[in-house]
Amino acid sequence: MRYSFFSLARNALAGHSLWPPAWRPAKPKTGYDVIIIGGGGHGLGAAYYLAKRHGIKNIAVLERGWIGGGNTARNTTIVRSNYFLTPNSNFYEHSLRLWEGLTEELNFNLMFSQRGVVNLCHSQAEIESFVRRYNSNRQNGVDGELLNRDAVRRMIPALDMSEDHRFPVLGAVIQRRGGTARHDAVAWGYARAADALGVDIIQNCEVTGIRTQAGAITGVETTQGDISAEKVGIAVAGHTSQLAAMAGVTLPIETHLLQAMVSEPVKPFLNSVVSSGTHHVYVSQTDKGELVIGGGLDGYNSYSRRGMYSRIEDITAAAAELFPRIRSLRLMRKWSGAVDMTMDGSPIIAKLPIDGLYLDGGWCYGGFKATPAAAWCLAHTIANDAPHDLNRAFSLERFRTGHLLNERGQGNRPGLH
């Protein structure tokens, strides 16, 4: 059933008893052309694009728990494409363009709102560094502007603009086309659209082994039985190393903890996404009214999803440096996600050294905004057994040849990316 105001109204009159499932509950068949492991935004999106763009019909998405329950559920929903390195900005710009049409394409309101992503600058050196990055973006066809103090003050009235601030705001850059989206909806929207194209979405189906023969994939072992497949794609943020290890591949990835929190809901306070490198914090406000606040990694390998409390103190203090008025608000909920940090801070969307096995992983902090393009590129790579130009640089081989995409220049220290 197509979603629209009219279908909503029609169903309202029928007591909402006629809505079909957004996606069918499915049980695994004995085999598929393509199996995607991981029912997050990336995996579901890849299945959708495989069916939609590449004409592959016999596809399953296997999800260990409930779809959209991994990092799709735990991010801070920011979308932007203002990366410095050309392969990154090209990829994320492609993603942003897909975002711009995705609600319509999926007929599911992803509440994608281009409220602008602002990077505050607290020193002349920081302005210069952002100008450098944004000039490069502009040259690559990515939008971006420099804001002076007055423009920042007008745009973000809640910001502490006092000149005697310990680190006064001297200016900012903004990507107006950046913004936020409703994270859960991305998984559901792709699931519904993929399901409509015949993709089996199988929940509570944990992959326990990857079967290969003579260096080629033959299928997977799961908690719901063995399933054969000609091609298998892995998109399991937070467990990428484990899945790759099932196929005997050791990846250039460390898994770290990233925490975030929301305040109690309040009336509109902040319209754009505001980020400060000096304070290591970013803040936005959801449509429901909660302030979403995030910061840096905990900084050590972990799968616990139980972050250290001191990081919450750091992030909170940093947010209040920017917005002193939020001190009387309350912290409602905090959570942590396990993020797969690659050794250069950029992702991997590539064939693995086993025929028919493909990886989409190592997203560091960037996985949510990448969702459409990552899914799009993974689908392309699986369908063609070769990367698209957009993800050619995101190979695994780069960690052999040295063609790293070191966006932050921090080297093989994942905790610093």
Partner 1 sequence: MRRPTKEDVGALIDPHTTLDFTFDGKQMTGFQGDTVASALLANGIDLVARSFKYHRPRGIVSAASEEPSALMTVRIDGLEEPNTRATQALLQDGMAVQSQNRWPSLEVDVFGVLNSASAFLPSGFYYKTFMAPSRAWPFYEWVIRHIAGLGKVPAEPPTGRYERTFAHCDVLVAGGGAAGLVAALSAGRAGARVIIAEEQSHLGLGLLPETGTIDGMKPWDWVGKVVAELTSMPNVRVLRATTVVGLYDHNMVTLAERLPALNTAEAQPRQRLWKLRPREIVLAIGSIERPVLFENNDRPGVMLASAIEAYADRFNVLAGRRAVVATSHDGGSLTALRLKKHGIDIAAVVDSRNAISADVAAALKAQDIRCVTGADVVAATGRRHVNGVRVRLRSGDVDMDIDCDLVALAGGWSPNVHLFAHTRASLGYDADLGAFVPGEAPLHVHSAGACHGVFGLADAIRDGLTAGHNAIAACGLTPADVVMPDITGGHEFQPRPPVGLPQGLNQNRVFVDLQNDVTVADIHLATRENYGAVEHLKRYTTLGMGTDQGKLGNLNGLAVLADIRGVEVGDLGTTTYRPPYTPITFASVIGGDKGEQNHPTRRNAAHRLHAEANAHWVNAGLWKRPQFYPQAGESDLEAVNREVLSVRACAGIVDVSTLGKIDVQGPDAIELLERVYMNGFRTLPVGKGRYGVMLRDDGMIFDDGVTMRIGETHFIMSTTTGQIQQVVEHLTRMLATECRNLDVFVTNVTESWFSCALAGPDARRVLKGVTEGIDLSPTALPFMGCAEGVVAGLPARLFRISFSGELSYEINVPSDCGTALWKRLLAHGADLGLKVYGVESMGVMRVEKGYFVVGREADGRVTPDDLGLGRMASKKKSYIGSAALNLPALKEPGRRQLVGLVPVAPGIKVPRGATIVEKGVHEGGAPPIGHVTSQVFSPCLGHGVALALVAGGRARMGEHLTAASPLEGGDVVVEVVDPVFIDPKGERLNE
Partner 2 sequence: MVIKCPFCGPRADVEFVYGGAAGLTCPPDDAGDTAMTDYLYRRENPIGPHRELWVHRHGCGIWIEVERNTLNHVITRTGPVGETR
Is 289 a binder of partner 1 (CB under 8 A)? yes
CA gap 135, 228 in Å, rounded: 49
Map the footprint of partner 1 across residues 337-396, applying CB under 8 A.
none
264 interacts with partner 1 by CB under 8 A: yes
Q: Binders of partner 2 among 306-325, rule CB under 8 A? A: 306, 308, 310
Q: In whole angstroms, what is the distance from residue 51 CA to residue 200 CA?
A: 11
Work out whether 288 is an interface residue with partner 2 (CB under 8 A).
Answer: no
How would DSSP label each residue in 148-195?
EHHHHHHH-TTS---TTSSS---EEEEETT-EE--HHHHHHHHHHHHH
Binding to partner 1, residues 147-176 (CB under 8 A): 158, 165-167, 173
Residue 253 binds partner 2, judged by CB under 8 A: yes
- Residue 328 is a binding residue for partner 1 (CB under 8 A): yes
Classify 121 as helix, strand or coil: strand
Of these, 179, 219, 252, 347, which contacts partner 2 (CB under 8 A)?
252
Residue 20 is given by DSSP the state P
Q: Least Å distance between CB 258 and partner 1? A: 15
Q: Which two tokens stand for residue 203?
A: 């929940």
In the complex, the smallest distance separating the C-beta of residue 220 from partner 1, rounded to whole angstroms, is 22
Say if residues 316 and 331 touch (Cβ distance below 8 Å): yes
Using rule CB under 8 A, residue 28 touches partner 2: no
Give the tokens for residue 126.
């920081």
List, in order, residues 6 or more apart from 198 with CB less than 8 Å away: 51, 57, 58, 59
Nearer to partner 2, 195 or 407 (CB): 407
Give the integer Cα–Cα distance in Å for 304 and 18.
Answer: 41
Contact call for residue 215 and partner 1 (CB under 8 A): no
Report 396-415 residues binding partner 2 (CB under 8 A): 399-400, 402, 412-415
Closest CA to 233 of 255, 217, 248: 217
In contact, 173 and 121? CB cutoff 8 Å: yes
State the Cα–Cα distance between residues 272 and 114, nearest whole angstrom. Answer: 9
Counting residues that bind partner 2 (by CB under 8 A) gives 25
Closest CA to 64 of 184, 236, 212: 236
For partner 2, the closer of residues 242 and 278 by Cβ is 242
Please report how many Cα atoms fall inside a 13 Å half-sphere around the Cα of residue 108, on the Cβ side: 21
Site for partner 2 in 217-246 (CB under 8 A): 241-242
254 binding partner (options partner 1, partner 2, none; Cβ < 5 to 8 Å by kind): partner 2
3-state DSSP call for residue 237?
coil
**Which of these segments, 29-37, 245-253, 310-318, 368-376, binds partner 1 (CB under 8 A)?**
310-318
Nearer to partner 2, 104 or 397 (CB): 397
Closer residue to partner 1 in complex, CB, 33/314: 314
198 binds partner 1 (CB under 8 A): no
**3-state SS assignment for residue 8:** helix
* Residues in contact with partner 2, shown as a per-residue x/- string from 341 to 360 under the rule CB under 8 A: --x-----------------
Q: Verify binding: residue 197, partner 1, rule CB under 8 A.
A: no
Residue 281, helix vs strand vs coil: strand
Of residues 219 and 387, the one with the C-beta less far from partner 1: 387
| Contact footprint for partner 2 (CB under 8 A) | 241-242, 250-255, 299-304, 306, 308, 310, 343, 399-400, 402, 412-415
